[in-house]
């Protein structure tokens, strides 16, 4: 999406911890995503904690309940599928939240609180699917804030050398290419291609990223492991 990731926080299933985290992040950043804690069990408290953070109650969303029921019956062929209290927990949203139904294949919506907190499930596949569906909304939000999406370029260079051996080369080249970010990620043992360390080079200037990658590859006796651009 061209969004610069500024901060990640991991918090326990604790109402105050979640509330403190989201209010702090929301007040300092334009776009916030939460992941997890929206299932049917007693430890799924994200909706409740975020509602408490902003002094609102929870309200049952009838449309979400109906979509949940319709999809469950289609997938399970169970005509007596019941909307139990546990299942209703997944449709109890902070009152006044903006409910975005971004993927017709999913019953779960993206619930937006305080205009910038986007509450998503923790299941990686569902999270990714909903974020993809959110793209038009996020682009509209960025435009309203006069934020320009940034295209990032990344090249990964692998090497069979140890991190201790390549560190001086990386330090020197990071100083030389100050406008790219160079990260070193060691493996536990050797990877499938014989790699011991993978070096990531990320930046906005494609030419600069590729030049830095070329010099790193030469300096650490490496090879191109992966390269891509986003968005």
In this predicted structure, what is the pLDDT of residue 157? 97
In this predicted structure, what is the pLDDT of residue 146? 83
pTM greater than the 0.85 cutoff: no
List Cβ<8 Å contacts ≥24 apart for 99-105: 99/61, 99/63, 99/64, 100/134, 100/137, 101/63, 101/67, 102/130, 102/133, 102/134, 102/137, 103/129, 103/130, 103/132, 103/133, 105/129
The token duo for 23 is 């209010």
* Identical fold, 15-144 and 152-230: no
Domain ranges of the chain: 15-144, 152-230
15-144: CATH topology: Molybdenum Cofactor Biosythetic Enzyme; Chain A (3.40.980)
231 CB contacts (<8 Å, ≥6 apart)? Answer: 1, 2, 149, 151
In this predicted structure, what is the pLDDT of residue 143? 87
Sort strands 32-35 and 117-120 into parallel, antiparallel or unpaired.
parallel
Q: Please, are residues 175 and 209 in contact by the beta-carbon 8 Å criterion?
A: no
User: Helix, strand, coil proportions of the chain in percent (round to 5)?
Assistant: 40, 20, 40
Distance, in Å, from the CA atom of 78 to the CA atom of 94, rounded to the nearest integer, reads 30
In this predicted structure, what is the pLDDT of residue 112? 98
The CATH number of 152-230 is: 3.30.70.2860
Distance, in Å, from the CA atom of 107 to the CA atom of 75, rounded to the nearest integer, reads 12
What averages of pLDDT result for each successive group of 10 residues across the chain (231 residues)? 86 97 97 96 97 98 95 77 92 98 96 97 96 92 82 94 96 95 93 94 94 97 88 62
Distance, in Å, from the CA atom of 18 to the CA atom of 13, rounded to the nearest integer, reads 7
Cα separation of the two ends of the chain: 5
């Amino acid at each position: 999406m061209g969004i610069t990731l500024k901060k990640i926080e991991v918090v326990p299933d604790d109402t105050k911890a979640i509330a403190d985290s989201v209010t702090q992040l929301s007040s300092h950043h334009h776009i916030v995503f939460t992941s997890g804690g929206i299932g049917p069990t007693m430890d799924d408290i994200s909706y409740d904690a975020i509602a408490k953070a902003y002094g609102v109650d929870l309200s049952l969303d009838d449309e979400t309940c109906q979509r949940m029921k319709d999809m469950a019956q289609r997938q399970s062929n169970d005509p007596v599928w019941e909307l139990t209290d546990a299942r209703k927990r997944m449709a109890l949203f902070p009152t006044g939240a903006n409910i975005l139904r971004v993927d017709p294949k999913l019953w779960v919506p993206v619930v937006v609180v305080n205009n910038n907190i986007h509450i998503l499930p923790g299941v990686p596949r569902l999270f990714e699917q909903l974020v993809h569906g959110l793209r038009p909304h996020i682009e509209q939000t960025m435009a309203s804030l006069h934020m320009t999406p940034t295209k990032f370029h990344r090249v990964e260079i692998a090497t069979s050398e140890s991190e201790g051996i390549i560190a001086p080369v990386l330090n020197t080249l990071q100083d030389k290419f100050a406008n790219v970010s160079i990260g070193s990620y060691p493996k536990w043992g050797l990877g499938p291609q014989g790699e011991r360390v993978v070096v990531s080079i990320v930046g906005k200037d494609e030419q600069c990223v590729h030049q830095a990658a070329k010099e790193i590859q030469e300096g650490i006796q490496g090879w191109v492991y992966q390269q891509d651009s986003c968005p």
